[in-house]
Structure 1
Amino acid sequence: MAEMSKEIPTISLIVSTYNWPEALEKCIQRVLKQTHLPNEILIADDGSGDATQEAIKRLKQDSPIPIVHIWHPDNGFRLSAIRNKAIAQARYDYIIQIDGDILIDDEFIKDHLALAKKNAFLCGSRVLLTQAYSKQLLNQSAVEKLNRFKFPLGSILNSLRIPLLSRIMADRYKKNKPRALRGCNMSFWKKDLINVNGYNESIQGWGSEDAELAIRLMNSGVKKRFVKFGAIAYHIFHKENNKDNVIQNEHILLQVMTKKITFTKNGMLKQQP
């Protein structure tokens, strides 16, 4: 039996993006192929230009569900801040979070719902696509099914969907360590995010924003569960992001871990010092 609430929760899907409209269009096309559609799609845009705006207009025309474009000016890598804006505007109970360079399996949302439990959040994995195969997919008019024979050997396991094993392993996966997570494949109850004040906006630039949020959730008593053999996500190849702020971000994360911090003052609601 699926481990979900008696009532299926309503879903806000948050998709983060920055100046890659070609990938975003493919991402949203896959979302609209879901066997269980979200109630809304929130595009958390970290300051993209006009090409992304035009792409979102086209996507809205083809979408049977609301697409909300949430944007702030481009002032460097501020993923935490734009995700907080999206969380604040989310209208529904359960938030599923992906990135705009992710292609999701048809059962992705269904698989998150199957493991959704009160006082818990979910972290999934991803299949890393090669540069050549990513280019091929981006050149297609639409992405229907992906070819497993073109996946790197190290990603094959992450491409297997086995619902029974997924349920069994949700709390037993040996690699489910506190920092073992991918922000491009997570889900939460909105109320739990509000209780910890969302993402820490002091974390800017690439790295640690998802782990820092996850640790605060766990410090507050929300359990981390892992989605293995389900919620399959395919990551389109791109060059690595700038990592200049990693040391500073890791310091913030370490403070949260050692001091058992649950609430960030620089989050969704700003607190006076």
Structure 2
Amino acid sequence: MNKRPSSSLVTPTYNWPQALELLLLSVKRQTILPDEVIVADDGSKPETTELIKQFQKDFPVPLIHVWHEDNGNQKPKIMNKAIAKAKYDYIIEIDGDIIMHPNFVEDHLKYAAKGIYLFGSRVNIQKNILDTIFSKKITFFHFFSKGIKKRGRTLRIPFFMNFAKLHEKRSSKLRGCNMSFWKEDFIKINGFNEALVGWGIDDSEMIQRLHNIGIQGKRLKNVAIAYHIYHKEQDKSHIEINHIIEKETTEKKITFIEKGINQYL
């Protein structure tokens, strides 16, 4: 049996304290806690800082707020700054609009193994129940909950993981909202690529470089369940530039990028 690694849960956020509040409440309900939680804040207004200060008063593990000034979408940069501060070996990455199932962290740590990263899926919480979940601070959902999509993904059946295969190539099912990796592997490839502009591709481009150094992926099915809070689609005006960078990373088997985490270590 693998010894459970020490872990840092890292989440990006930007001006959505209501979603972050539910995320942090779902951390408190974990069967196994991460060793610390780091909020990578891409320039939110003071409401987010106030919310984090409130949570810090009685949070069960260190809750660290890493903030930089708002200068458009700079998720790769703030994530690099946050992970540079992470004290622990294993990084669990979730989006700032995720509510975690109580066994979420436990599942990531159970299946963590050297030479691989993990990626899971998400259950979508629909727009029509947002007012209810925010006003009642709901962090628990199940197969029969109202206002969710992809109900099959709410079922936690660890037995299925006995059949999980390793992925030598990056999967099209990869979602940055629910994944985990070793900090030392992340540093080897120099972290997230800060040459990427605006929203999108940063997670898959980084994961491609992990594949390029021989790290394999394992998909978490029916474990590590994550509920994604509905929001409007992000601005995708820069996505083509990012696709070009990702294509080059894949074709040229690039393993190390120029502007990455090494600036903050």
TM-score, length basis structure 1: 0.92
Do the aligned partners of 1:45 and 1:82 also contact (CA within 8 Å) in 2? yes
Do the aligned partners of 1:170 and 1:228 also contact (CA within 8 Å) in 2? no
Q: How does 1:46-195 map to 2 (within 5 A)?
A: 46-140=42-136, 142-149=137-144, 150-153=146-149, 155-171=150-166, 177-195=170-188
Query: Which residue identity is paired with 1:266?
Result: K
TM-score, length basis structure 2: 0.95
Do the aligned partners of 1:17 and 1:100 also contact (CA within 8 Å) in 2? yes
Do the aligned partners of 2:128 and 2:147 also contact (CA within 8 Å) in 1? no
In 2, Cα distance between the equivalents of 1:262 and 1:177? 14
Q: How does 1:171-250 map to 2 (within 5 A)?
A: 171=166, 177-250=170-243
In 2, Cα distance between the equivalents of 1:13 and 1:238? 22
CA displacement at 1:139 relative to structure 2: 1.2
Query: Which residue identity is paired with 1:80?
Result: P
SS at match of 2:166: coil
In 2, Cα distance between the equivalents of 1:16 and 1:135? 22
In 1, Cα distance between the equivalents of 2:230 and 2:89? 32
Deviations 1:1-34 (A, max 9, x none): xxx63x2110100011000011101100001110
Q: Which runs of 5+ in 1 are unaligned?
A: none
**Cα distance, 1:106–1:202 mapped onto 2, change above 3 Å:** same
SS at match of 1:132: helix
In 2, Cα distance between the equivalents of 1:170 and 1:15? 27
**Cα distance, 1:152–1:63 mapped onto 2, change above 3 Å:** closer
Q: Which runs of 5+ in 2 are unaligned?
A: none
Between Structure 1 and Structure 2, how many residues are aligned?
Answer: 261
> 1:14 corresponds to which residue?
10
In 1, Cα distance between the equivalents of 2:133 and 2:148? 15
SS at match of 1:19: coil
For the aligned residues, what is the CA RMSD? 1.5
Do the aligned partners of 1:102 and 1:235 also contact (CA within 8 Å) in 2? yes
Do the aligned partners of 1:115 and 1:167 also contact (CA within 8 Å) in 2? no
CA displacement at 1:156 relative to structure 2: 1.2
In 2, Cα distance between the equivalents of 1:148 and 1:244? 36
In 2, Cα distance between the equivalents of 1:69 and 1:236? 21
SS at match of 1:238: coil
CA displacement at 1:97 relative to structure 2: 0.5
In 1, Cα distance between the equivalents of 2:24 and 2:32? 14
**Cα distance, 1:157–1:170 mapped onto 2, change above 3 Å:** farther
